[in-house]
Amino acid sequence: MLLPLLVLAACGDLPRPYQGNPGATAERLALPPPPRLAVPPTYAAYLPARSIPRFSQAVAAALQAQAVPAFAGYHKSGDWRLELRAKNERSQVTPLFTLVDPDGRGKGTVEGKPVPSETWSKGEPQMLKSVAEEAAPRIEKLLAGVEAARKQSDPNSLYNRPARVALSPITGAPGDGNQALARQMREKLGKLGPVVQDSPTGTDFTLVGTVEDVAIDAKKRRIEIVWRLLDARQTEVGKVVQLNEVPAGQLDRHWGDVAVVVAEEAAGAIHDVIQTQAGRR
């Protein structure tokens, strides 16, 4: 999802109120459901033998399209799993998808769209694909609800405590930009609630900031600032991009109030990503 964020001055003396065409965006990634979701093949779905692994693969693929970390196969310790079953009533088969947590506790069942028994018994790939794709959004919704409830009940989860964010050294800025941006980001993001620290020890996220300074012509330069938010597994969960043109030489020494505004606007978008990851949105 792209959202307007910040405009650096396209012309005139800095610092002063920014103006011009919007040139920056914040990209926010959806909160993932539980760590891994196994979709094991099973005879309980009343399919011909050749179609049993096909159904497992079709369901896993449909869930992956919904940004669920699913895979076709048997679960290992710590994995969630989706049990595939079916009920046959009045010449119709209703697929059943039961979510099971790593401790073997059922967390809910989604009923698929009924299929005529004769059609189901053939187990054709296109039919299995259609069934999987129809049910996948509702399975993802069940997963998201279970994960949200888990976060709310866990006193140690991000839902119930401030996030800890490691701020990596900012690189690429001319003048004192690296230091100024880091100083302002610590202050602005910290005021919004997260605990900002230099050490990655015990943190939930890492914030990486890079600046690219490119000459457009003798009078103008393009400044692009990219903030990447990584989770504890170093997977990118959000990105903020700030981009516009500035007069040549304007930021070669001191960033001053420019760093203040840049950090303030970026910190707000980064905080929104953290709130989403914590399940508060």
pTM: 0.56
- CA angle 211/213/216 to nearest 5° reads 150
Span of 106-110, 125-129, 159-163, 212-216 with lowest mean pLDDT? 159-163
Count of residues for the chain?
Answer: 281
Instruction: Assess whether pLDDT exceeds 90 at residue 24.
Output: no
CATH class of 37-153: alpha beta
Structure tokens at 211: 């600046």
Instruction: Assess whether pLDDT exceeds 60 at residue 19.
Output: no
Instruction: Assess whether pLDDT exceeds 50 at residue 32.
Output: no
Structure tokens at 247: 């007069």
DSSP 171: B
Of 91, 86, 96, 83, nearest in space to 119 by CA: 91
Domain boundaries, the chain: 2-30+162-277, 37-153
Give the residue, 114 or 24, on which the prediction is more confident: 114
Strands 70-72 and 205-215: unpaired
Instruction: Assess whether pLDDT exceeds 80 at residue 172.
Output: yes
Of 180, 268, 261, 267, nearest in space to 9 by CA: 261
Return the sign of the alpha-carbon dihedral for residues 162, 168, 169, 172.
negative
Instruction: Assess whether pLDDT exceeds 70 at residue 21.
Output: no
DSSP 260: H
Structure tokens at 232: 């504890």
Average pLDDT over residues 13-25: 34
Instruction: Assess whether pLDDT exceeds 50 at residue 157.
Output: yes
CATH code: domain 2-30+162-277 is 3.40.50
CA atoms within 13 A on the CB side of 210: 6
For residue 88, the cross-strand partners are 93
Peptide linkage before 15 cis (omega within 30 of 0): yes
Give the residue, 31 or 182, on which the prediction is more confident: 182
pLDDT value at position 79?
92
Do 2-30+162-277 and 37-153 show the same overall fold? yes
How far is residue 211's CA from residue 171's CA, in Å, rounded to a whole number? 6
